[in-house]
Structure 1
Amino acid sequence: MAVAMARVYIVRHGETDENRQAIIQGQFDSHLNAKGIEQGKRVAEALRAVPFTAAFTSDLVRASKTAEYILEHHPGVPLRKQTELRERYMGELQGKKYGAKMLPPGESTVESIEAMSARTARWWADTVLALPRRSEPQCALVVSHGGFIGVLVKGLLNKRVRLGKDVQMGRCLNTSVSIVEIMEDGRGVLVQYADISHLAESRKEVVQGNADEQGLRV
């Protein structure tokens, strides 16, 4: 029987004004708004008891600040900022409202789905699967973006990760928490996807749309 190597907690960043206004951010370096800061502190409290041994975040401020809130409860755990964890590069669409018209094929500067899928898979192999083996399973924190998380998880489910019992795929909302358990042989189980039970506000008060994730269709 395969032995658990790690549990990976994948968190989407807190809310930004751009999220609220349905503006495509991509790799534009937006900041958390007041609600996003509150959400960051709530997810930090929800993950307080997790014995993190490693932490990774997109270097974009909305993600790295969310990660910093979480690690306030985990002093001594270094935070590695990685450009590979950035949202999809949306090129000419960045800063525009969702639904904006993109340039014709061949002229667009938007990162292709194929390139993004390759980037997420490469990051997983180079970072998560390369975590050093320990006598006890490692708990790794990963803070990224809705589009990145969706592409990463879908790619994993198409390969060596299976969907856990009663786990359903859905929207990846702000500060939602997904958990993947990885075995020594590299196989894994998605045991939780996009949970926001730590948020005090009702689900309908959380931004339902994600312009960047919706933009993955372009």
Structure 2
Amino acid sequence: MTRITIIRHGSTSWNKAGRMQGSTDIPLDEEGIEQAQKLGARLAIEQPWDIIYTSHLSRAKKTGEIIAAAIGLSPVLTDERLREVSGGQTEGTVEEDRIAKWGPDWRQLDLGVEAAAAVHERGVSFMNDLLSAHAGKRILIVSHGSFIRHMLRHLTPDFVMTEHLKNTGVSRFLVEDAKWSCDLYNCTTHLD
């Protein structure tokens, strides 16, 4: 059995402003750094970890580096397949901007947003490689909200996501015989 814990990165100034981040490389803000430190302290006492992967985007990579330092895990491995879903022309905008520029049905337009099929393809490719290389291990992954939601829908189709993924929210999976099951979703007890 392989244990995979997937974490959304800490907060950024664009999260707080409601700006579409996508693949734009926005750094953690001060609160995001504190969130990652608190999560690192939590994970240090939860269980031993074997490996950590992050997206190459700085907000996820920095979150992973802070966690890895807290749990004594090195190196932090990056993989571009864990990047956030590209928002195309919507990146850097807030909802008000999108409505003003493209109208209330902007989601129906082709604005260069990465297709779900492309997200699934790169995400499944990463997960297959991960499970092949690290079967039976305890793995941490730090990635992004939209990417994680796409992967959860694909890998655990019966699982119902009840809330928006929070910054440094922890979701835990058991993978056995290629079957994924979720036993913890979007947990942020470290922030309480």
Relative to the length of structure 2, the TM-score reads 0.88
> Whose helix fraction is larger, Structure 1's or Structure 2's?
2
Per the TM alignment, residue 157 of structure 1 is displaced from its structure 2 partner at its CA by 1.2
Q: Deviations over 1:69-101 (max 9, x none)?
A: 110123343211111000001111111113513
Equivalent position of 2:115 in the other structure: 112
**Which of the residues 158, 168, 175 maps onto 1:175?**
168
Q: How many pairs does the alignment contain?
A: 184
Matched position secondary structure for 1:48: helix
* C-alpha contact (below 8 Å) 2:10/2:168 kept by paired residues: yes
Give, in whole Å, the separation in 1 of the partners of 2:182 and 2:107.
36
Tell me, in whole angstroms, the C-alpha distance in 1 between the residues paired with 2:137 and 2:35.
25
Q: 2-side partners of 1:67 and 1:195: how far apart?
A: 17
What is the match of residue 132 of structure 2?
130
- Asked if 1:82 is matched to 2:83, the reply is no
* 1:65 equivalent in alignment to 2:62: yes
Match of 1:209 in 2: none
Matches of 1:79 and 1:9 in 2, distance apart? 15
Partner amino acid, structure 2, of 1:196: T
**Structure-1 separation of matches of 2:52 and 2:83:** 15
Q: Which amino acid aligns with 1:177?
A: V
**Mapped partners of 1:170, 1:122: distance in 2:** 26
**Structure 2: stretches of 5+ with no match in the other structure:** none
Q: Residues 120 and 98 (structure 1 numbering): CA distance in 2 closer, same or farther, change over 3 Å?
A: farther
Name the structure 2 match of 1:13. 9
Letter in 2 for 1:85: L
Unaligned segments of structure 1, at least 5 residues: 201-218
Query: Does the 8 A contact of 1:57 with 1:82 survive in 2?
Result: yes
Residue 43 in 1 paired to residue 34 in 2?
no
Contact 1:58/1:85 (<8 A) preserved: yes
Residue pair 2:40, 2:67 contacting (<8 A) in 1 also: yes
Q: 1:178 & 1:187 partners in 2: Cα distance?
A: 16
Matched, 1:192 2:188: no
- Report the RMSD for the aligned CA atoms in angstroms: 1.9
Q: Distance in 2 between matches of 1:115 and 1:7?
A: 25
Tell me the distance in 2 between the aligned counterparts of 1:81 and 1:8: 16
SS class of match (2:173): strand
